[in-house]
Chain A
Amino acid sequence: MATSILTERDRWAHLPPAVKEELDVYETELRRMQHGLISEKVFLELRLRFGVYGQRQPGVQMQRIKIPLGMLTARQMDRIADLAEEYADGVCHITTRQDVQLHFVNINDTPNLMRRLAEAGITTREACGNAVRNVCACPKSGVCHEEVFDTTPYARAMAYFMLRHPDAQNFGRKFKIAFSGCEDQACALALMHDIGAIAQVREKDGKLERGFKVYVGGGLGPLPYQAKLFSEFVPAAEMLPLAQAIGRVFARLGEKKNRGRARMKFLVGQLGIEEFIRLVLEERQKLLPDPRWTDYLEAAENFAEKPLRPPSDLDLSGRSPEFIRWLRTNVRPQRQPGYATVTVFLPLGDISADQMHGLAALCRRFVNDTIRTTVEQNIMVRWVATGDLPDFYDGLRELDLAQTGAGTLGDVTACPGTDSCKLGIASSRGLAALLHEKFHNGLSDVAARTDLNVKISGCFNSCGQHHIADIGFFGSVQRKGGHVAPVFQVLLGGEMEGNASAYGLAVAKVPSQNAPAVIKKLSDLYTRERGENERFSDFVRRLGKARIKEELEELTVLPSYEEGPAYYKDNRQPWDYHMSTEQGECAGEVVDQSEFMLEDADRLVFEATLDLDAGRYDEAAAKTWAANLKAADALLFQKGLLLSDNYNTVEKFRELFFDTGEFYGTFAENFFRAAQEGNQGLGPEKTRRRVEEATLFVEMAQTVYSRMAGAKV
């Protein structure tokens, strides 16, 4: 095993060393788990932190690929498409958090899949698990008419600052951040995030200063929370340390055992926003300065994307009606005259590898890597010169990607649901696919509406963001007689505008196959009875839940199995429905950071033995030392020390474990001696002894950790 891994790894020598090492560690841990050398629980959290998520179908994985701010280059699109056709089922799926997902991946393919992404500058690190997930931002940042300023460089700095940050490795649950350029639009949905940042400027000393209105503790899930205002204005220079301080408070005080209450929204709710703010500001004062907090700011002030082609005008004469329709729904003029954004509408967020390759080629011709995924599961191409739109459209048509209707009711958002998610109860994608079909056959008038939107989740967890839709659905079940039918709860009155400013409420439960009729009925009702300029959410509030429930009454009836067997099948599934859910991996296992570090120490000792056997004594000795440090840091973490405090591990270990007698003296002394002697030129015999000593040190650390963790319970 070891030899083949080492040979294979030579292939990747060109990767940046830190990235290469991280992925080598991932592969080693995978193989160690497969050989029973580490627990599946620990590996589970590790793989989640690399974006590898077990599907509901046994033995296959979903690979989530983190795309910060949804920003993609043509090269990256090509690489993702390559991987889809080699390791998955040939389809790339855009998510509601601007990620890309590949499905039905073999776990053994994941190390090389990640290495090939790394070649294109992409990491999957912390795409899942109890970590900072993909940082979202408006896809129109920098080209939008309404924005205060372009949030792109600030959001990017946040994404890469928090990635792998030691203060963001011990959360009880996932953590989500979004940046918005303005308060009113929907693009970034800042108010449903753990940290939502909305661009602001203020005058200071006669100059305009950039900063953000910051909200904290928002989130959807079964119990949606609106974020609370943390500060009207946080200067840009304070954003990264503020996020770090929030992360430290969340890691220290957030719930770890009860998965259902471990998101930060519960902590903010429990403490109250005033106390939460006080704790965060107190924590902020403790942070050691980090140059990364401000290094990027000067460049950020001057950040601007460069278009590939000069601005130009569009001549509409003689253009086809299809082109005009597409122009109306999928194209928006940019703030910069002569340029437009083009939204490539992807039904259900899916694009084939072939199409992705083709779109990458098209982007190379017309734009300069200015491509972003959107939370509506589409792809937005920016900086298309207006005069190029007809040729761009023709290129999309050749790829079957010129579908009209972006941003209309027909542009339905749906999570994976029972197609692949362990938590799924009903087929959200099945319903979305059925709607897609009906919108082309009989419901096209409904589909074309721009004043309504539909979002679907396969269960109450809201990955499809049903709470913020005008018309939201989430999957559930209903038993009648001896049979179980898939049904959808209908939620009405959510608002995406104003950065997800209102959440909808359930009004009725309908059999899944009646969901299209519900949309039709609500659409007709809205058309018939809306007031002038009345938004759907206001309309719903005015009519009241009782009236709407009455309108939908006939559609809520579930016939018996004998009367209507079709009601007991889910959409686009010709077999009888049966409910089957498992524990989801979305939350990840809660694995204490110390446990991770101890496993890492164990791995380093194992690798040191391989180096020793191969005669690489200096490398072996260095790894034993790294293992000792990891193990010592793991125990110090239990005493409340954080890696970002930059303490001296040896000194602190001596003070807190050796002097107190908590750690076996001889093993600790070996550690101190190794610290004094260093790792170079030890020769075979002494290196072997170091490996043996490190083995014992790490083992003892495991024992002490177990004792400490046990004492806490």
Chain B
Amino acid sequence: MTEIQKVSVKILSDAPQTLDLTPFLSIFGRWRADANHAAQWVDLADYAHMARGAGIVLIGHVCNFSFDMGTAAPGVLYFRKKGLEGSNQQRLWAVFRDALAISRCLLREPEFPPGVHLQTGRLELAFNDRLETPNTEDTDCELRPAVSAVLDELFGRGAYELERQRDPAKLYGFSVRAANLPAWDEWIARLGL
């Protein structure tokens, strides 16, 4: 069985590419001091100088969390690196649960840029491990059922479109687009948070 450990979920936002990322320095600067957080924060990395770059990244041993300016559009990016257990579906569920939980914390921060909204119906999902999950049909056969099951729970069956990354050189992953944007609270509730 494929050993999924490295998965990233990005929730796109309506922020402009010119968004000032300085507030995230303050927010993540405080967060990194929390020695008891399950993410085991290490430090933050400031890539605000890069056009369409990694933004401000809070690095952890278990996951990274950033306001990312690359791939598709600006948004919050949760990159799980280790610590996943159970079936593929359970692992994916855990990734979404933790990604949304930490995103909710970010949204509650007073410095979070006003006017920027996370778009719950626009997600990018990627499996960051070409050795374990190469972008092949075999991988797709094995992982798609788990992906669909988790997204069905989140959005409702048939309420979203799933477009797979077709370039075999790219990470195995999907763009997820839901026609009706779920309310943030409703979404969180579905994940049992």
Contact = CB atoms under 8 A, between A and B. Distances in A.
Interface string B124-147: 000011110000000000000000
A346 to B, nearest CB: 8
Interface string A40-60: 000000000000000001111
Contact of B46 (A82, A351, A352, A419): A419
Interface stretch (A86-94, A139-147, A212-220): A86-94
Most buried by A among B47, B48, B81: B47
B140 to A, nearest CB: 18
Interface stretch (A455-463, A570-578, A597-605, A625-633): A570-578
A354 B52 contact: yes
A545 to B, nearest CB: 33
B4 to A, nearest CB: 13
B59 A89 contact: yes
Given A78-B169, A85-B128, A430 B53 contact: no
Interface residues of A, number: 40
A85 B171 contact: yes
Contacts of B70: 90, 352, 354-355
Contacts of A112: 131
Contacts of B45: 89, 91, 103-104, 419
Contact of B53 (A116, A352, A403, A432): A352
A350 interface: yes
Given A89-B64, A90-B70, A350-B47, A400 B52 contact: yes
A327 interface: no
A486 interface: no
A91 B53 contact: yes
Given A91-B47, A106-B81, A574-B26, A86 B52 contact: no
Contacts, number: 92
Contacts of B170: 357
A690 interface: no
A378 to B, nearest CB: 14
A73 B190 CA distance: 47
B124 to A, nearest CB: 12
Contacts of A419: 45-46
A424 B68 CA distance: 26
A59 B42 contact: yes
Contacts of A352: 47, 50, 52-54, 70
Contact of A354 (B26, B57, B71): B71
B50 A60 contact: no
A437 B21 CA distance: 12
A8 to B, nearest CB: 10
B48 A433 contact: yes
Interface string A384-412: 00000000000000011101000000000
Contacts of A403: 51
B53 A104 contact: no
A86 B46 contact: no
B7 to A, nearest CB: 11
A164 to B, nearest CB: 26
Q: Which of A11, A355, A399 lies at the interface centre, i.e. has the most chain B CB atoms within 10 A of its CB?
A: A355
A348 interface: yes
A467 interface: no
A60 B53 contact: no
A58 B32 CA distance: 13
7 contacts: A57-B43, A60-B59, A90-B54, A104-B59, A106-B82, A572-B22, A573-B29
Interface of A: 11, 57-60, 78, 82, 85-86, 89-91, 103-104, 106, 112, 116, 347-348, 350-352, 354-355, 357, 399-401, 403, 419, 429-430, 432-433, 436-437, 572-575
Given A60-B61, A106-B61, A572-B22, 10 more contacts: A57-B42, A57-B59, A86-B128, A91-B53, A104-B59, A355-B70, A357-B170, A433-B48, A572-B25, A572-B46
